Chain A
Amino acid sequence: AQKITQTQPGMFVQEKEAVTLDCTYDTSDQSYGLFWYKQPSSGEMIFLIYQGSYDEQNATEGRYSLNFQKARKSANLVISASQLGDSAMYFCAMGFYNQGGKLIFGQGTELSVKP
């Protein structure tokens, strides 16, 4: 079965602190990609970061880093130095190279950043 699990429906973090959003996945495919998207209250989906299943180094994009542990099938998002504008819904997704790259999404984690 192909599945993405985000176990934290909601999280709070203090401004300027780091926060980790959890994501685990299940697949028997060897080639896949892991993605994180941000959805603010305005509704758009904003791409944050990507990790390929064969990438040995963890991906980083500015304040975002992806903690990829292949053996544990986890792809946690770390946001450093949280900002008020980081308050949003965050979705973990998995893409399958042998299926055109369709994404399956987790249920999301709502992050609230406190001043």
Chain B
Amino acid sequence: DSGVTQTPKHLITATGQRVTLRCSPRSGDLSVYWYQQSLDQGLQFLIQYYNGEERAKGNILERFSAQQFPDLHSELNLSSLELGDSALYFCASSVAPHGEREQFFGPGTRLTVL
């Protein structure tokens, strides 16, 4: 158990819908990262927050948005869902702001868009 929690574990929805994925980092970790893992794209970095502020952005679609709240939990919002958004979404947390330390991954949310 990494100490990072993600809910829900599985999510099945239809095209065009909107979903919210939730992540709670390890106690004491201020950095939260979101990654997407799909068969065709592999593991891709989406976005990072550090202590409530966006720190880095990767290949995140405009239909996707995220935020980190004062209690440090984070949410990833996916809207206007398409079939290609089906993937495993990971949240990771780290104590370091710049990647100087390891990132611990949550169990992931498996999203299926039908």
On A, residues with C-beta under 8 Å from B are: 33, 35, 37, 43-47, 50, 52, 91, 93, 95-105, 107-108
Please list the residues of chain B having a beta carbon within 8 angstroms of any beta carbon in chain A: 2, 31, 33, 35, 42-45, 48, 50, 55-56, 58, 88, 90, 92, 94, 96-105, 107-108, 110
Cα A105 to Cα B37 in complex, Å, equals 10
Contacts of B110 in A (CB 8 A): 43
Answer whether A101 and B58 are a contact pair too, CB < 8 Å, given A33-B100, A107-B42, A108-B42.
Answer: no
Closest to B107 in A: A44
A52 to B45, CA, bound (A): 20
CB-CB < 8 A to A97: which residues of B?
98-100
Cβ–Cβ < 8 Å partners of A33 in chain B: 99-100
- Given A45-B90, A91-B43, A107-B42, A101 and B103 contact (CB-CB distance below 8 Å): yes
